[in-house]
Chains A and B, each alone.
Chain A
Amino acid sequence: MTPSLSTASATADTFTLGPLQNGPACCIPTPILSIENLSLHYGDKPALAEVSLDIYRGCITALIGPSGCGKTSFLSALNRLSDLIPGCRVGGRIRFGDADIHDPAIDLQGLRRKIGMIFQKPNPFPLSIRRNLEMPLREHGVDRQDELDEKIRQALTDVGLWDEVHDRLDAPALGLSGGQQQRLCIARAIVLEPEVLLMDEPCSALDPLSSAVVEALIQRLRGRYTVVIVTHNLAQARRIANYAAFFWMREKVGKLVEFGRCQQLFDMPRDDLTAAYIAGISG
């Protein structure tokens, strides 16, 4: 029997993509992902150690810190994409709802469907715009054409791409601009109705204008999806996140230094390192 991946999705379903929400959206934080004592090695080299934190449902959690301190490694452990890297070992426990994601009996493809991922560089497949969304849907068992069309239209509308591309759905996705490609990738993730979206610096490869559009989109996803976002842009983290986690290298190993409400972490950091990092970057 496969461990159930269905978390209390009843609450998630009641959210609709409403107007831009400001401030913390979640008054009573309920964890959707619980990470306990996570460690990660590439071969014999430790990259991440002793990370424990909860990701709260419906909130945006920002992962900040200098380059190479294990934020991306952390993110790829959450949907077990780290499995693809030869020699990568993950220790500790990650709970997603009721399930342990390292359970050997887990349905890995189902897990990755429920925990979507957006990469730094937009990576639409070399297919048409429509096929980019239709192919994953078909692979996950959606066969009826009207249902497919409706889901595709809805996803493209949600990311604000429908008006721009509805008359050229069969054009190559690689012909879109960088910002449009990234929004298509987000549409491709949300068309599968995930619960969590992992984003690895989704704006850093885009020009400032496209970056602003994608950032606004991420804010609009709050509530309906749980978002975990890696960003080097502290101002962006401050603008969009409810929670923030600060990572730092200690003895060549990435560690979690501080985790808390975004506002608190930026305005009243408990750790001196956090304070120095925020001050050093912002002023």
Chain B
Amino acid sequence: MRELIGKPAPDGPDLALTIAIWGGAALVAGSFLALLGDLLWHGAARVSWDFLVMAPEHAGKTGGIGPILASTVAILAVALLAALPLGLATAIWLSNFTRGGSLLARQVNLSLDVLAGVPSIVFGLFGNAFFSVVLGMGFSIAAGGLTLACMILPIFIRSVESGLSAVPDEWRRGAAALGLSQAAALRHILLPAAAPAISAGMMLGIGRALAETAALIFTSGYVDRMPESLLDSGRALAVHIYDLSMNVTGGDQAAYASALVLIVLLLAINSVAQTLTGRFLARRISQP
């Protein structure tokens, strides 16, 4: 399509537009690189193995982020453990069992679309009222993880759903024509074929959960000790960055280093998701 209009026309307005568009793109790219460069520049000096494993001291100004990483992983694990089975089941149901578009299917779709847009602070309020108070979990890793599970369900379900609906219909028909049950078709053909999309959706969900702060402040809390159970409060990495930069004078160094760790984790997860999606689009179906 570019070739089609690739020849820059000589007249003034066209040239101005070209300059404006390249300028806009450069501005966006420049801001992105400035942000990334700043984190790298200030954060790289502090990041070391010790930083990753040591406990924070002096409210995080010195020491490391060991317990914080542990809490982050625990919160993430709770979120995935709750969201993956529920999300997988819902996505399968939406893509394979509701072709007519029942009332429940419309309800589920509406719920997912709205949940995807609900502000994270509102999830925080909900998580606090429901998981922490009503279910009596208090400020805990379990409450935080379950709140995050509600948040990542929409994005995960939509990826799995699109993965399943991209599986060629001829395999569905082939399986039905052989008298296979839906369960057998799912287990042997549809789910393996959609596996890359399922993993990509999982990665997107992890990315979203790792980045989350507002929903966790009032659910999993601030405590920066090593958690001993899922009912202990635990401070996530994103919350740690917030606390260091807002509530701890002189915490900027450690905040930079923590932010760098978080960004590197997210970039790695994003690359995995991209690769998986790319592989899925290329229809390289896994062989058992």
Q: Does A231 contact B (CB under 8 A)?
A: no
A36 CB → nearest B CB, Å: 23
Q: Which chain A positions have C-beta within 8 A of B179?
A: 108-113, 136, 140, 192
Please tell me if the beta carbons of B177 and A116 are within 8 angstroms of each other in the complex.
yes
User: Across the interface, do A81 and B177 meet the contact criterion of CB distance under 8 Å?
Assistant: yes
Main secondary structure of the interface of B (DSSP, over half): helix
Task: Select which of A112, A127, A172 is within 8 A of B178 by beta carbon.
Answer: A112
* Stretch touching chain B among A117-125, A233-241, A250-258, A272-280: A117-125
Contact A172 B174 (CB under 8 A): no
- How many chain B residues touch A (CB < 8 A): the figure is 24
In the complex the two chains form, is A123's CB within 8 Å of B178's CB?
A: no
How many angstroms between the C-alpha atoms of A211 and B177 in the bound complex? 22
Closest Cβ neighbor of A175 among chain B residues: B287
Determine whether the beta carbon of B193 is less than 8 Å from that of A123: no
Task: State A1–B174 Cα separation when bound (angstroms).
Answer: 28
With a cutoff of 8 Å between Cβ atoms, the chain A residues found around residue B288 in the complex are: 127-128, 131
Q: Are A125 and B188 in contact (CB under 8 A)?
A: yes
Q: Are B177 and A117 in contact (CB under 8 A)?
A: yes
Q: Is the CB of A136 within 8 A of B193?
A: no
Which A residues touch B287, using CB under 8 A?
Answer: 126-128, 172
- A84-B180 contact in complex given A126-B189, A126-B192, C-beta closer than 8 Å: no
Evaluate whether A125 and B173 lie within 8 angstroms (CB atoms) in the complex, with A110-B179, A135-B188 already known.
no
Are A189 and B178 in contact, CB atoms less than 8 angstroms apart? yes
CB-defined interface of B23-46 with A at 8 Å, one 1/0 digit per residue?
Answer: 000000000000000000000000
Instruction: Check A123–B100 contact: CB distance below 8 A.
Output: no
* B174: A residues at CB distance < 8 A: 119, 123, 125, 185
Assess whether B184 is in contact with A139, with CB atoms less than 8 Å apart. yes
Q: Could you tell me if B181 and A139 are in contact, using CB atoms closer than 8 angstroms?
A: yes
Q: What residues on B are CB-neighbors of A125 within 8 Å? A: 171, 174-175, 188-189
Most chain A C-beta atoms within 10 Å of own C-beta, residue among B175, B178, B286? B178
Neighbouring A residues of B193 by C-beta, 8 Å: 126
In the bound assembly, the distance between CA atoms of A154 and B285 in angstroms comes to 28
With a cutoff of 8 Å between Cβ atoms, the chain A residues found around residue B100 in the complex are: 86-87
Contact B99 A136 (CB under 8 A): no
Proximity bits, A217-250, B CB within 8 Å = 1, else 0: 0000000000000000000000000000000000
How close is B190's CB to chain A, nearest CB, in angstroms?
A: 10
When distances are taken between beta carbons in the complex, the residues of chain B under 8 Å from A192 are: 178-179
A121 x B178 contact (CB < 8 A): no
Q: Are A112 and B192 neighbours in the complex by a CB distance under 8 Å?
A: no
- B122 CB within 8 Å of chain A: no
Considering the chains assembled together, what is the distance between the CA atoms of A131 and B184 in angstroms? 13
Inside 8 A of A136's CB, which chain B residues have their CB?
Answer: 178-180
Q: Whole-angstrom distance between the alpha carbons of A111 and B180 in the complex?
A: 11
Smallest beta-carbon distance A25→chain B, Å: 25
Chain B CB within 8 A of A57 CB: no
A110 to B178, CA, bound (A): 9
**Closest A-chain residue to B98, C-beta based?**
A86
Of A84, A111, A116, A139, the most chain B CB neighbours within 10 A belong to A139
Residues of A within 8 Å of B189, CB to CB, are 125-127
Query: Does A79 sit within 8 A of B, measured CB to CB?
Result: yes
Chain B residues with Cβ below 8 Å from A185 are 174
> Is the pair A81, B178 in contact by a Cβ cutoff of 8 Å?
no
Closest Cβ of chain A to B98, distance in Å, is 10
A126-B285 CB under 8 A given contacts A109-B179, A112-B179: yes
Q: Is B172 an interface residue (CB 8 A)?
A: yes
A183 in the interface, Cβ–Cβ < 8 Å?
Answer: no
CA distance A109 to B179 in the complex (A): 4
A128 to B288, CA, bound (A): 8
Contacts of A139 in B (CB 8 A): 178, 180-181, 184, 188
B181–A109 touching, CB < 8 Å: yes
Nearest-neighbour CB distance to chain A for B203, whole angstroms, equals 22
**CB of B15 within 8 Å of the partner chain:** no
Could you tell me which residues of chain A, from 85 to 109, have a CB within 8 Å of some CB in chain B? 86-87, 108-109
Q: A71 at interface (Cβ–Cβ under 8 A)?
A: no
Asked whether B176 is an interface residue with its Cβ less than 8 Å from the other chain, the reply is: yes
Q: How far is the CA of A234 from the CA of B47 in the complex (A)?
A: 76
**Interfacial chain B residues near A128, Cβ < 8 Å:** 287-288
Closest to B101 in A: A86
> B99: nearest residue on chain A (CB-CB)?
A86
What would 17 more interface pairs be, CB under 8 Å, given A113-B178, A127-B188? Answer: A81-B176, A84-B172, A86-B99, A87-B100, A116-B177, A119-B174, A123-B168, A123-B171, A123-B174, A125-B171, A125-B174, A125-B175, A126-B189, A126-B285, A136-B179, A174-B285, A185-B174
> 6 tightest CB-CB pairs across the interface, nearest first?
A112-B179, A113-B179, A117-B177, A126-B285, A109-B179, A123-B170
A-B contact pairs, 15 of them (CB 8 A): A108-B179, A109-B179, A112-B176, A116-B178, A119-B177, A121-B170, A125-B171, A125-B175, A126-B287, A127-B189, A131-B288, A135-B184, A139-B181, A174-B285, A192-B178
